[in-house]
Amino acid sequence: HSEHRQIPWLREIEPEATVEIHPDTAKALGIEEGNWVWIEGVRGKIKRKAKLTPVVHPKTVMALHGWWYPEREGKAPYFYGIWEVNVNQLIPMGCQSKSGFGGVPLKTMLCKIYPV
């Protein structure tokens, strides 16, 4: 479950935690490629680097789960930077399906995105 952030060649491909946002949406919000942005939900906010792409719908953003920085301090309260970048912390607890595993609430939620 580490998402392999500690593997050097994978970090070369994706060195920072990103959020994908449609270029039109980004422009309307004053966000440019590579800008640091806040993603805010009901449980808090995280910081990600904007990655503009027409692939995502203009009314959505996409942030990969499981981000952490293995090069950062691992002891409490830092825990490898998870509180700063890990989108998992924005998802409300208790969102399991009948099977007990994750479902739609773990993949979609309302959020606000704005420049840092």
The confidence band for 94, taking pLDDT boundaries of 50, 70 and 90, is low
Cα–Cα distances (Å) from 62 to 9, 10, 80, in that order, read: 23, 19, 22
Q: Work out the mean pLDDT of the chain and round it to a whole number.
A: 88
pLDDT in tens, 38-58: 999 988 999 999 999 999 999
Domain boundaries, the chain: 8-115
Residue 102 binned pLDDT confidence (cut-offs 50, 70, 90): low
SS3 87: helix
pLDDT at residue 18, as a whole number: 96
- pLDDT at residue number 91: 78
Q: Kindly write down the DSSP assignment for every residue of 20-74, as one continuous string.
A: EE-HHHHHHHT--TT-EEEEEETTEEEEEEEEE-TTS-TT-EEE-S----TTS--
Architecture of domain 8-115: Beta Barrel (2.40)
